Structure 1
């Protein structure tokens, strides 16, 4: 069972001469969205930092680079904000996008790279689910 909570954020709406910051679930959020669409300049998410200390977490678990301690920041890709962990590096190449994270697990250093083709018709999750479906179909047919 996954008990990880979604990291909280605020929306910052920039207008000429002012910035309005609201929680994502604020009662006036939808009204502010409508005003922003008409008069706004820029909208960004402000992520609430996780409070778990990375050093204490490493001493307790032997993990450095854990999602439990990484905050979220918005990087920009094709003019749109993309939520990434703050220790993730986004590298944009002509044909693909690469995300890299560095971690220490049990004293060993790892660099985790995820490469996503720009012209992909299916997401990596869609491909994985398709593979699982094919394996299950093969198992059913073998009986």
Structure 2
């Protein structure tokens, strides 16, 4: 057990992107990995300047912080990437909100189809679909 005491204002290095937020923001969802990380029960790496380091794409993590701060969802074109990050950090409110996005539903449907088929059957369906796509939209 580390028993680190965290300041109210936390300086972060998220994948090389520097950010500052409140400890209350990071621990807002008590079931999340972020709340566990900043509970004092775990050792968190620091960069050379003493900022807490989170190994994640900083551009995507901004959307995570904004969700925790304001409850805002990412733009539709980022939904799939943010969904993966939200699953990783176990941010269930965000995961549940993003599950309704068309992009996430599509990927989940593909995964369910893949799980229900054997590998050869799945590969045949995938190749048939790609063949149809390239028939109408040839590669350049």
- TM bucket normalised to smaller: under 0.3
Higher relative contact order (CA 8 A, sep 6+): 2
- Higher strand content, 1 or 2: 1
- Higher helix content, 1 or 2: 2
TM-score normalised per structure 2: 0.26
TM-score normalised per structure 1: 0.26
